[in-house]
Amino acid sequence: MLKLNSKKYKDLNIFYFEDENLRNAINVIDKNYTISEVIKDTKRNYVALIEIEGKKYIYKEPRNEFRIPQRQFSTLLKKGEALTTLVNINNIIELGIKDFVKPLVAVNKRKNGFIVFSFFLMEYAQGEDNRKNLDLIVKRMQEIHKLGYYHGENITIGENVLIEPFVRLGNNIKIGNNTIIKSGVIIEDNVIIGENCYIRENSIIGGEDFGIETDIDGSTVRIPHFGGVRIGNNVEIGAGSTVCSGTIEETIVEDYVKVDYSVNIGHNTRIGRGTLICSGALIGGSSTLGNNVFIGMNASIKSKMIIGNNAVIGMGSIICNYINDGEIFTNEMADKLENIKIIRNLKQKILKRRVK
């Protein structure tokens, strides 16, 4: 197993396996190199072909991990992209898999535990430029985009937004700065997502709810949903969760709301600022939740309910009545059927006494 070395130099942490690459890192930090070609220069990545002491290397800054707040926050508990790439790829090469360009050295700088700057060097490998199928690939991608498989029209995307592969965007969508949209997400028409949001894998934003009405002859009719969804700033939507479109007016999720996995938020619902919704919760359409509400796992809220500020709804609770500010509603724990019958009878007796 390779031995990873580290050294502090000018407030920067240098990680390397060979002393030669320590010298290369110091040369880069001291600006003792020349840039032969800038390959990529975006807000998320910077990649360049550089030359140090007559030898070529690939230099990369993974800027997204210190420019996108959510990514930077995760570096508090992680090695960061530069160091992870150095360690993982070298270990793979040591196992005998040679089809990788070798990372040579990783450098980062931390402030209060967070990565605020990083880069790594890789060996320069000049391969064959094979563009045999490039024209066909470009043509196919143009057809895909033209047909709207991945995105529609009138889309505004802010700065430092990360949208992973296999995301589908509808029409009339606005996504704020520094938001992350993970793979498999579907965002339907008329959706606004604020800044610094985190939309997790395979969630659906703005899809039609179960808006079904029964006609006089007993046939069912689907009600169109045109209202869309408006999500505030610093909101998280968990994987597999659904925020349904409003019918005429918007479904609204205010700032700092955090939604766990597999949650359903019905049409025309309003979720107040700072509310926390745990996995498996179901919120019926046209409900209003106040600020800083807590909803436990697998809780169910009937349509058109009003939940006050700072209310707490316990795990598995079924809410069919309005809840006032600060009230706590909880469900009984599972018990033997005979015990439940006894407790139910006792409840009925106590309630009858109170009525008298």
Q: In this structure, which long-range contacts are made by residues 278-285, counting pairs with CB atoms below 8 Å and at least 24 apart in sequence?
A: 278/315, 279/238, 285/209, 285/211, 285/244
Torsion angle of the four alpha carbons 117, 122, 126, 127, in this order, in degrees rounded to the nearest 10:
-90
Amino acid identity at 200: R
Span 78-126, pLDDT tens digits: 888 899 999 988 888 888 777 788 999 999 999 988 899 999 999 998 7
Strand, coil or helix: what is 19? helix
Residue 148 has pLDDT above 60, yes or no: no
Distances in Å between the Cα of 276 and the Cα atoms of 53, 125, 194, 316 are 56, 49, 18, 15
Average pLDDT over residues 127-156: 64
Element (H, E) at 37: strand 34-41
Split at pLDDT 50, 70, 90, the class of 324 is very high
User: Across the chain, what does the average pLDDT equal?
Assistant: 88
- Say what the pLDDT of residue 127 is: 66
Residues 175-204, mean pLDDT to the nearest whole number: 94
Distance between CA atoms of residues 180 and 167, nearest Å: 11
Using CB atoms within 10 A of its CB, is residue 297 exposed (0-12), middle (13-18) or buried (19+)? middle
Q: Which residue has the higher pLDDT, 57 or 351?
A: 57
Catalytic positions are 267
Residue keyed to tokens 């990545």: 45
At 33, which amino acid appears?
Answer: Y
Q: How far apart are CA 45 and CA 241, in angstroms?
A: 30
255-283: per-residue pLDDT in tens? Answer: 999 999 999 999 999 999 999 999 999 99
